Amino acid sequence: MNKNTKGAIVVGVVLAIGYGFYYLKFSKYSYARTISKVTLIKPSYYLKDWDFAYIKAWALAIRNEKPTFEYRGKTFSIGSGKMI
């Protein structure tokens, strides 16, 4: 292998690791998995037509161990996702 091939392989591996980290921590699926741990509903349920910002706010409240979260000026429960 020459110098350029090794460099391309290193860049490819770094990009793959970066995307994997993003997918596991900051993707819509990751947030849905976090919610499903509390609600015990499969993550695919949250991925259908739900608003990404709503799922993200809900999941971040769970990760930060808060009892409620706010979305568009309204307060929701983390246990059910319903407005209080």
Per-residue pLDDT tens digits for 48-80: 888 999 999 999 999 999 999 999 999 999 998
Residue 19 belongs to a domain? yes
Residue 10 belongs to a domain? yes
- Write out pLDDT tens, residues 24-52: 888 888 999 999 999 998 888 878 888 99
Name the residue range of residue 46's domain.
3-77
pLDDT score recorded for residue 55: 93
Residue 68 belongs to a domain? yes
Burial of 63 (0-12, 13-18, 19+ CB in 10 A): exposed
Residue 48 belongs to a domain? yes
N residues, the chain: 84
What is the pTM for the complete model shown?
0.79
